[in-house]
Every structure is written in C-alpha cells, then in structure tokens.
Structure 1
Amino acid sequence: MHDNNAMIRTILSLVVFAVSVAAVAGITAAAPLEVTFKQAAEVDGDAITIGDIATLSGESPLADSLAGQIVEQSPDPGRSIALDARTIINRLVRQNASLLSVLWQGAATVNVSRSFVTVSSEQILTAIDDFLEANRHRLPQADIRFIPDSPPLPINLPTGETSWQVIPSSPAIIGSSRFSLIYNVDGRVRKNFSVLGRVEAIAPVVIATKTLKYDEIISDDAVSVEPRDLGQIANPTGVTELVVGSVVKRTIPSGAAIDTTAIEQPPVVRKGELVKIFVTHKRMVLTATGIAKSDGRKDETIRVQNSSSNKLIYCRVNAPGVVEVTL
C-alpha cells in the first residue's frame, strides 16, 4: 500500500513537471472551436448557413468552412421558421466526424426570419400607369387610365435589385382586361401575377344622333361628336368628314358611336353610267367615252365598255363620271 501511494505521488510529480515545462516553453493546448447558436436570426438569401444562425469563436479554416455550411432553405420573404440546433449538430457530425471536437452551445431552437421588401398596392398600380405613359405613342389621343376591378394585394419580395415587367392582355393595350406583372430580384423571377380591370380611354368620337338604317346616306345633322370610352367601341372615328356622305352598311342605333366598318363611301360611278375615259401614254393624253359595267368608288378598278370599239377595258375610278387608263 505504501509503495502504491509512493508511485501515485511520483506520477503526479511528473505530470506537474511536464505541464510546468510546457508552460515555460510557451506551449499551450489548442482551444476547441466554439459554436454558439443564436435565439433569433434574420437572413437575406435563399439559404441559411451556420454563420447566419450562430457565432463561431476565433478564426481558422475550420471556422470559415463551418460558417458556410448550408443547413436549410430560407423561408419566403416576410416569413420565419424554427430550426432545432440538436438536429443540425447531429447532421453535421454524421457528415464529418471531426466536428465532434467542436464545442456546441447556445440556444436549443433558432427562430429564423427572411428579410423582405414590400411592394404596396399603390406601387403596383403606379407600375401599370407608368407602362401606359411609356406607351402613349402607341395609343390614340385620349385621357387614358387603368381601372382595377379591386385593389391588388401587396407583395413581399426578397431584398436586392428589383425590376419589373408589365404585360397587357391585349397587344393593342386598349381593350385589355388584365395586366400581368413580373417582378425580378437580382435577375431572377420572384413574383408573377395579374391585376384584373379595364383600360379607360376617353376621347371625342362621332356618334349617331338618330337611328341610321341600311343603305342610308349619312347627313351632317345625323351625327355629332361626344366623349366616349374607346375601350368600349370597335373601330371608332373622331372625324365627321369621314362619316358624312357615307352609306350605312348595317343599322346604327341612335346614340351609338359610328363603327367605321358599318359604313362605306358611296360609289362615284354607277353601273350603266356614261363615263369619260382618259388614256395616258407617256406624255400623250387621249380621251374616249364608255359605259361603266359596275359601280365604282374612288380609286377602285372597274370594267368599262368603250363606246366606239365595244371593247371591255379596266379603268381606275378617278372622279364622278371620270375613269382613267394608264398604259
């Protein structure tokens, strides 16, 4: 027993001596890497790393590598998730046994939120208004605005460089029933949605002051000019001169805007009418008379029978009672 106690005292003396020698020589054991989990953290990117949710002691290749390890995908902007520290530690240690030497400490659960930028309802509608203004050169002269069916809901986007694209449902813009908006952050599409509504374009148009019936010639007192929504009218015109004197192709109700496809210019030359034929050849102009074989409007080509030779020739209608042949 006495020998055993003497042996223990000898071993302890050697240990103390070794430690003393090491201290004198400036040799110390390396401190373990400490990883302290936070109770809460906020992230900007799409992935959550150890460096986002914990603090790491000192600077070393191991600390740098561990800080960059992805542990989970980030929640949607404005949302949060709870991460279990023990689950994260176990997964990392299974992947790399050397991490057993790390001193893990801190919160058992980390609440992680995603930073975000809110695009308000007003900002969404302003984006559509800006699009209309930028494309005004493509639109008729009118007081134009977008009227949504209901205010769009705000959206949350990740932080970063934001850009957006506005696409109307109709290539003509006027008549669109919705606008699609695509928001990009740092060049990546983050939101894609539509705002329902209509484009209102108020401008003066020609309307019928009475019911205009089929084959009726429109007189000056049968029309007037009033402001109307172009988005609700097909093929309108604001020029009365284009309407007065035209022939009605289909009935136009009183108060309705004149659809230019519902009217046409009357024939300048009538079938069976005697016409004067002008023949232009180089610098010479010859004339003859003939009989129109069909109705013809200005600049239309019709067949005319030459009164002298009875031959049928094609002529362009130039004016009332006048047709022209160019050789």
Structure 2
Amino acid sequence: MTSQHSSDSLEGFARKIADMMNVNAVHNLRRLSGGASRETWEFHVGQEPLILQRVRPQRPGGLGSEAIVLREAFSHGVPVPELVIDGSISTDLERPFMIVKSVAGETIARKILRDEQFADARVNLVHQLGVAAARIHKVPTVGMPNLVEEDQLTMYQQILMDLGEPHPVFEIAFRWLEKNRPTTSATALVHGDFRLGNVVVSSEGLQAILDWELAHLGDPMEDLGWLCVRAWRFGGAHPVAGLGGYDELFDAYAHESGFRPDREVVRWWEILATLKWGIMCIVQAQTHLSGASRSHELAAIGRRVCENEYDLIRLLDEVSQ
C-alpha cells in the first residue's frame, strides 16, 4: 500500500467516525498496538481524547457483553474508562466497536515495575488492586444477562484434550486441582484477565482497569489467583503483581468487601491460572503454526509453555509440603 493510499484510507475512516458521532471532524487519528481480537485507535474530538476499539475482520463473537460490563462497572465505582458509544450491534464502522474516554497513564508492566516516575505509585498499587477487585466483585450482575458461568477446570481440560498434545505436568496439575477443588462461596462478576498489563497506572497510582473481553460469572477468587501468577509479575520479586505480598492484597480486599480471602483457596486459583496460561500459550502458538495468523509474537509465546510447566512443578511441590 502506498503512503498516499494509506493517508486517503485514514482520512476516510476519520470521516466515518465523525459522521457516526455526529461531529464536524475528529483529529489526530492514529492506530495503537492492540490485541489479537481488536483494533485500537486514538483520536480527539475537540480537546477530548478518545479511544476506539473495533473487532478485527473475521473474528467471531463481536464485542460480546464487554460494553455493557464496562458501563455497569463504571456506574458502580470500578476504575474503568467511561463508555461513550456502544457500537456492539452497529454497522456504522462496518464491524462492532466501542468508544471510551482515554485514561492517561502507563500500561506497560515493566515500566510500572521499574521506572522512577512510578516509584510512589508502586507503594500503594497492591492495595489499590485489592480494592478494585473487591469493587468488581460487588457489581450487580442483573444488568448483564448475557454473561455466562463456565467451569474453568472442565473448560481447560477439554481445550487441552482437543489440542491432542501430551503434557504430563499439565495432566498432573489437573488431577491435583480436581482432588483439592475448594467450595465456591459466591458467584460474581469476574474480570477474567485482572493483572499488570491490563491496568492504567499514573505516577499517582491505579487509574483504570482495561480489557474486559473475558469477563464472565464465576468465583471472585479467580481474579486474585490470576493476579498472582508468576508470569504476571514480569520479573518482580513479590507474589502479587511483582509488587507486594498476599496479606497486603487480602487486607485491602477485606477492607472494601468485608470478606477476607482464604489463602489456600487463592492458591488453588493461582495454580489453575498458571495451568490455564500454559494451555493458552499452546493455543497461541498453534494459531501461528497452523497459518491462521502468522506472528512472531504468537510463535514466541509458544516457547513459554515450559515456563508454566516449571511453575506448576514448583507450586505443586509447595502445596505438598
């Protein structure tokens, strides 16, 4: 594609957005890096910075319930970007989309963990994450009728079986998880990918929680276990997001919710989360290897399967002591 053609296409897309929003023009439209299922664009209407997320071509499922969940979470005090337009069923931009207000801050985990400008933010971030998780789990689900509850253990057992690859460590982990499954104390809104990398942090601390496409109904301790997975510590020395300890997280959660998480229950979910991420790494590598989406990033993620196998061996050894 020539630069002129690219420029013309960008201008045409900007006009479509302006027409859809019923404004004279949008400015500074640029595409940002995004996930496998969404295009992400930044632009301005007047002085207001906005973010557009649009489903990529040939991606099934559209936006699902994400825009509705975002709206409900915002209205109940969860730190999330404010929804401006829900285009879940709109054809104005050809594919489902949503527009939210931009939130200033950083999302790159290694910068949050290491850069000096976030030194003060790091002091309180585990506490803020605990409070935010509790607020997520208090959001009433009656306004989100399309959310479903799936047994995570059964679902990922089936995914691994369908992959047809032998992974003895994963199979041992499944057996331990089945044998030691805790009783679910509640069913709540679960973010599904609650971790560094999906939060916006400024020098003052947590500003917003992003990426709600995996939101579902389930045990709220799932989010806390996912936050503690070693992969999501990004080299940090501490178990919760690389920043702090379990007690700090649990104390903050209890202060907001009135319920203090059980350490052993969260550990069960941390083990399941490690197993899930290992299986996700296989799936993403297969996406590349099958030719469905050729990507150096997807191929590289496939090499991380063994890291999760190692983490599972270590975790299972700890719980057997």
- TM bin, normalised by shorter chain, reads under 0.3
Structure with more of its chain in strand, by fraction: 1
Relative contact order, higher structure (CA 8 A, sep 6+): 2
Q: State the TM-score, normalizing by the size of structure 1.
A: 0.18
Q: Of the two, which has the highest radius of gyration?
A: 1
Q: State the TM-score, normalizing by the size of structure 2.
A: 0.18
